[in-house]
A and B are shown apart, each in its own frame.
Chain A
């Protein structure tokens, strides 16, 4: 059962080949058996999952099942889940049991999906390797000495190892796409505002966006349809109809114009990764697409811009973790200042502290104009690059990550090297554009991801472009060994 895609599982449930309870038991069994090697889950919710599965089977008997009813999934531990610990992979929220469901979670529940548990991640989504988690690093199922990417590394590893058919992720600077690439799965970061942020613990509010992670583009289409849409509780969500993403998967690619930004193929890109990406582009030529070189001249500004905007917003967003109302509180505080200093000093990990300090500095009087304001101007330049590009092309393609998965510990002492790993993914967040990563080959035994960036609210096209490639290739069907 675990080799089936979400679409196949949906069909199997509908045909009565298996029940949701059987399916849920199967995946819970796999988590039990294999997650010791991966550490992809922070919390496994076996009992509530079985109760949800039972309810899903009952719903099906009543004839009220939808396409996702009874299908298990894992939620990234950044989404608040009513009555279940929501830790954000931090000591700070180790004891935090959310009293409400995030909108994304509520929508999955409403569709009748079964939550297997909460996946591991970088602490407060800050990291590109899943090494900053308070609950320990996640291993890449393709090679357990390698990182799975981050911050949605637990979700990516769990999907890749077939511990869950699908998972949710969040992407602030590549946190869906980069781990999807490094773990050989598919993942889409929708347009900013497409999916509600309510109940998703904020890292950088103007960049954060939730999205699905699964094995295929078709599965992503199914799941995105369930979680997308306007939410009156999120002022930045957009009131715009959600198309039937799955129905849009049948279009051929004749005449599709693909732009390759020359800046995405320059220095820093691993030649072996470049080779795999070029092979994928050739596949698209065969499918009838027209490929042109384009330029995104301000690409070099993306990483520095991001590392002002994201820390600035996070320094403010994380202020509520003060030891007063919820979360970690230090023992025996002497006074208020001691309570703040030690609760935060002991509750946050080093990467989170680093970003809070950078952000606090960037927003300080006398520096605000030089950093935050300047970064907002750079952000506009980056958006303008894309606007011009989409006047002539339909989709932008390139590598998701400059390298395949690196080894654990390799970049932990060099934060800047770690930050540079996000060079291709960050710009889409700054511009608010949808981006996707799909499997496109291997370097050795480590997967390569192809990135697709679309115009605003063009998710349907992105998913179809990815799907057409997956109809003629089998990279997305490869499974890591050792999890049979």
Chain B
């Protein structure tokens, strides 16, 4: 039988506020356990939550960025359950009235077409703390530093039909939240993670199959592998006469498999009700307009503009707009050079990106600034150096040897464009290799490269390639 996979994602994006969603404690990562948890985060008797205004602004910004409705009135609710790292015995979340509803984002499929993925809702909630099971000799340690960290839970429609689509969607959201600067996107620190709802159904069937929820996946690669595994597991299960049970599963990257999280089936009744400690969040149209004014150009719009304005290939535009910093860097280079956008794109995507990757650096702390790269590209376009020599110049700039002009001067890399000088060198080479000259003239065209190589060797690569070619052709033919 042919099977169809149905996937919906719940992405948790940690909002990049300095303080927590309902208290003034810091959200900085990596502090000693329980040093960033105040009375409110600890859920002491008598404490009350007070909403951090900044999280509402961030949620609204996200809503506008995905073409969603930003609710004029949304309500915080209590999700009641007991867990040791959940201090109050309930999580403050949004249930019936979320702050953002009915948005969408487009992903690109492998065949180059685009597909629109619906975003059902995005709601604000507080994170729980962390249970530490090691090092406590049969007991559990509780670290509440993370308790109260603001999260935006972004819930998609079950619109994805393969693990690859799910990853493409997750990447788009990841790119977007960093673009609009509401989340640092750091997946290792758990700032961006997702739960995947996966089910399968016979192709053509309308009803959804029973889904399993894979919890807390924190890398794109694991999302793909976890879903692929889960799809195979469900199909194998059904085909061998079994039934998928609705349950929560955990992906184990070491074994590349998903496992049921709970030994016995627990019916969770969270007993949601509006939190009486918090007033409904009322968002005025003027607030939304003010937030809208702070929206940067979004990735999709930027991609399209790069294609039309700079005449880049869609793939290149996509590469350059994958992060706002890289796109800004590229545009700064183009602006400084004043032309040659394609050449600039090649350098940013080529040597710059390769060097950043090699050294594990972000574009924001690149040793070669956009001005330095632009300065070097200008030396290519004004024929001071060749593209090949430029690679050497770039490497030197990367290693801190100064800007392009300084490197060119210091290393004497200026291109030889004096026709007489090049002609002299060509003559010397032809004179020194009479056999090859004869062979070339008798039809061995391939030897042309040999002469170019010899000339470049003689000039340490500084001869202007075009001039050299022209001269060589003239002399050899004649």
* Chain A residues in 8 Å Cβ range of B8: none
Query: Quick one: given A233-B50, A235-B278, are A320 and B273 in contact (CB under 8 Å)?
Result: no
- In whole angstroms, what is the CA distance A198 to B50 when docked? 11
- In whole angstroms, what is the CA distance A303 to B276 when docked? 20
Q: Which residue of A lies closest to B277 (CB)?
A: A205
| A138-146, A258-266, A360-368 - interface stretch | A360-368
Contact B42 A322 (CB under 8 A): no
Contact A320 B89 (CB under 8 A): yes
Query: Quick one: given A99-B39, A316-B89, A364-B269, are A235 and B46 in contact (CB under 8 Å)?
Result: no
B313 at interface by CB-CB < 8 Å: no
Name the residue in A201, A205, A233, A336 with the highest tally of chain B Cβ atoms < 10 Å from its Cβ.
A233
Contact A363 B273 (CB under 8 A): yes
Query: Quick one: given A319-B88, A320-B43, are A233 and B48 in contact (CB under 8 Å)?
Result: yes
For B75-99 the 0/1 string (1 means CB < 8 A from A) is 0001010101001111000000000
A96 at interface by CB-CB < 8 Å: yes
- In whole angstroms, what is the CA distance A102 to B43 when docked? 14
B326 at interface by CB-CB < 8 Å: no
Question: Can you spell out 11 A-B residue pairs with CB atoms less than 8 angstroms apart?
Answer: A88-B45, A98-B44, A199-B47, A316-B78, A316-B90, A320-B87, A322-B82, A325-B44, A363-B80, A364-B269, A372-B273
Contact A364 B271 (CB under 8 A): yes
* Chain A residues in 8 Å Cβ range of B276: 204-206, 236, 313
* Chain A residues in 8 Å Cβ range of B39: 99-100
For A229-245 the 0/1 string (1 means CB < 8 A from B) is 00011111000000000
**A6-38 interface with B by 8 A CB criterion:** none
Q: Which residue of A lies closest to B268 (CB)?
A: A365
Q: Which residue of A lies closest to B45 (CB)?
A: A201
B49 at interface by CB-CB < 8 Å: yes
B250 at interface by CB-CB < 8 Å: no
- In whole angstroms, what is the CA distance A315 to B269 when docked? 14
Contact A316 B273 (CB under 8 A): yes
Partner of B89 from the list A96, A204, A322 (CB cut-off 8 Å) is: A322
Name the residue in A232, A235, A236 with the highest tally of chain B Cβ atoms < 10 Å from its Cβ.
A235
- In whole angstroms, what is the CA distance A481 to B272 when docked? 51
* Chain B residues in 8 Å Cβ range of A234: 48, 50
**A355-393 interface with B by 8 A CB criterion:** 360, 363-365, 368, 372
Name the residue in B45, B89, B269, B272 with the highest tally of chain A Cβ atoms < 10 Å from its Cβ.
B45
A220 at interface by CB-CB < 8 Å: no
For B16-54 the 0/1 string (1 means CB < 8 A from A) is 000000000000000000000001001111111111000
Contact B279 A235 (CB under 8 A): yes
A397 at interface by CB-CB < 8 Å: no
Partner of B88 from the list A100, A198, A233, A320 (CB cut-off 8 Å) is: A320
B349 at interface by CB-CB < 8 Å: no
B142 at interface by CB-CB < 8 Å: yes
Chain B interface bracket (under 10, 10 to 19, 20 to 34, 35 or more): 20 to 34
Contact A336 B84 (CB under 8 A): yes
For B251-273 the 0/1 string (1 means CB < 8 A from A) is 00000000000000000010111
**A329-345 interface with B by 8 A CB criterion:** 336, 340
Shortest distance from the beta carbon of B43 to any chain A beta carbon, whole Å: 5
The DSSP consensus for interface residues of chain B is: loop
Contact A98 B45 (CB under 8 A): yes
Name the residue in B43, B276, B277 with the highest tally of chain A Cβ atoms < 10 Å from its Cβ.
B276
Nearest 3 pairs of A and B residues by beta carbon: A319-B89, A363-B271, A206-B276
For B40-70 the 0/1 string (1 means CB < 8 A from A) is 0011111111110000000000000000000
Shortest distance from the beta carbon of B101 to any chain A beta carbon, whole Å: 21
- In whole angstroms, what is the CA distance A100 to B87 when docked? 18
Q: Which residue of A lies closest to B84 (CB)?
A: A324
**A51-91 interface with B by 8 A CB criterion:** 79-80, 86, 88
Given contacts A324-B142, A326-B45, A327-B45, 8 further A-B contacts (CB under 8 A): A312-B273, A316-B80, A316-B89, A318-B89, A319-B88, A319-B89, A319-B90, A320-B89
Shortest distance from the beta carbon of B73 to any chain A beta carbon, whole Å: 15
* Chain A residues in 8 Å Cβ range of B50: 232-235
Name the residue in B42, B46, B90, B277 with the highest tally of chain A Cβ atoms < 10 Å from its Cβ.
B46
Q: Which residue of B lies closest to A234 (CB)?
A: B48
Q: Which residue of A lies closest to B39 (CB)?
A: A100
- In whole angstroms, what is the CA distance A372 to B77 when docked? 14
* Chain B residues in 8 Å Cβ range of A88: 45
- In whole angstroms, what is the CA distance A204 to B277 when docked? 10
Shortest distance from the beta carbon of A216 to any chain B beta carbon, whole Å: 29
A404 at interface by CB-CB < 8 Å: no
The DSSP consensus for interface residues of chain A is: loop
Contact A325 B87 (CB under 8 A): yes
Partner of A235 from the list B45, B84, B277 (CB cut-off 8 Å) is: B277
* Chain B residues in 8 Å Cβ range of A336: 84
* Chain A residues in 8 Å Cβ range of B87: 320, 324-325
A93 at interface by CB-CB < 8 Å: yes
- In whole angstroms, what is the CA distance A235 to B75 when docked? 13
**A406-437 interface with B by 8 A CB criterion:** none
* Chain A residues in 8 Å Cβ range of B88: 319-320
**B112-147 interface with A by 8 A CB criterion:** 142
Contact B271 A198 (CB under 8 A): no
Q: Which residue of A lies closest to B49 (CB)?
A: A235
* Chain B residues in 8 Å Cβ range of A316: 78, 80, 89-90, 271, 273
* Chain A residues in 8 Å Cβ range of B82: 319, 322, 340
Shortest distance from the beta carbon of A281 to any chain B beta carbon, whole Å: 35
Shortest distance from the beta carbon of A299 to any chain B beta carbon, whole Å: 23
* Chain A residues in 8 Å Cβ range of B80: 315-316, 319, 363
- In whole angstroms, what is the CA distance A340 to B83 when docked? 10
* Chain B residues in 8 Å Cβ range of A360: 271
* Chain A residues in 8 Å Cβ range of B271: 315-316, 360, 363-365, 368
A476 at interface by CB-CB < 8 Å: no
- In whole angstroms, what is the CA distance A102 to B39 when docked? 12
* Chain A residues in 8 Å Cβ range of B84: 322, 324, 336
* Chain B residues in 8 Å Cβ range of A99: 39, 44
Contact B277 A368 (CB under 8 A): no
Q: Which residue of A lies closest to B22 (CB)?
A: A235
- In whole angstroms, what is the CA distance A206 to B279 when docked? 11
Contact B48 A86 (CB under 8 A): no
A176 at interface by CB-CB < 8 Å: no
* Chain A residues in 8 Å Cβ range of B269: 364-365
- In whole angstroms, what is the CA distance A79 to B47 when docked? 11
Shortest distance from the beta carbon of B72 to any chain A beta carbon, whole Å: 19
Q: Which residue of B lies closest to A337 (CB)?
A: B82
A202 at interface by CB-CB < 8 Å: yes
**A78-127 interface with B by 8 A CB criterion:** 79-80, 86, 88, 93, 96, 98-100, 102
* Chain B residues in 8 Å Cβ range of A235: 48-51, 277-279
**A204-260 interface with B by 8 A CB criterion:** 204-206, 232-236
Q: Which residue of A lies closest to B271 (CB)?
A: A363
Partner of B45 from the list A93, A206, A236, A365 (CB cut-off 8 Å) is: A93
